[in-house]
């Protein structure tokens, strides 16, 4: 546990994954699978939402980032469930004497619509970190690479408390 006298910290993170051309790759966001939509490129299941949440809490505690904790050079992590990686990141945060207060995540994409699965995503993510996680979808209205469906980006802000 750190000697840091500050009772709370804030972490901010960004992540983006390109869309995959692999027809067998499923889209996973916030631990929820979306059917009939291109999956994302990544070493794990490429869950950009879980990744950005992990980066936000790790960064808030000065514990590096998801790439340091779970390197994409580790063959044992190929296809890994990113919710489990998020759960492990939260455990590392707790081991350092912190607890997650909350995470707020914005996901930028035009398709699929998140609203039908938003509650399930929030529940899955909240369960993994042991604190409330909120999700908002942001549409690009067809602008740029994300608007063309070439990938999905996400931002997150996390509060951690002693």
108 close to 14: Cβ distance less than 8 angstroms: no
The domain in which residue 119 lies consists of 8-161
CATH number at residue 136: 3.30.1330.50
Report pLDDT digits (tens) over 45-76: 999 999 999 999 999 999 999 999 999 999 99
Q: Can you tell me the distance from the alpha carbon of 109 to that of 137, in angstroms, rounded to the nearest whole number?
A: 7
Q: What is the CA radius of gyration of the chain?
A: 15
Structural domain includes residue 1 = no
The confidence score (pLDDT) of residue 130 equals: 98
* Domain assignment of residue 60, yes or no: yes
Closest by CA to 156, choosing from 122, 111, 112, 130, is 122
Picking from 115, 121, 103, the residue whose alpha carbon sits closest to that of residue 33 is 121
pTM over 0.85: yes
The answer to whether 39 and 28 have CB atoms below 8 angstroms apart is yes
What are the pLDDT digits (tens) for 21-39? 999 999 999 999 999 899 9
**Total domain count, the chain:** 1
Q: What is the pLDDT of residue 2?
A: 54
Model pLDDT, residue 5: 79
């Amino acid at each position: 546990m750190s000697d840091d006298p500050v009772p709370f910290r804030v972490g901010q993170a960004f992540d983006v994954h390109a869309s995959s051309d692999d027809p067998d790759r499923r889209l996973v966001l916030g631990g929820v699978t979306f059917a009939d939509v291109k999956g994302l490129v990544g070493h794990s299941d490429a869950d950009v939402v879980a990744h950005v949440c992990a980066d936000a809490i790790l960064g808030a505690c000065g514990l590096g980032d998801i790439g340091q904790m779970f390197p994409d050079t580790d063959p044992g992590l190929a296809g890994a469930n990113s919710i489990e990686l998020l759960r492990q990141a939260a455990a590392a945060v707790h081991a350092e004497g912190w607890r997650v207060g909350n995470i707020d995540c914005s996901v930028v994409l035009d398709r699929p619509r998140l609203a039908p699965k938003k509650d399930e995503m929030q529940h899955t993510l909240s369960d993994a970190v042991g604190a409330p996680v909120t999700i908002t979808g942001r549409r690009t209205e067809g602008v740029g690479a994300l608007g063309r469906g070439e990938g999905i980006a996400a931002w997150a802000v996390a509060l951690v408390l002693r």
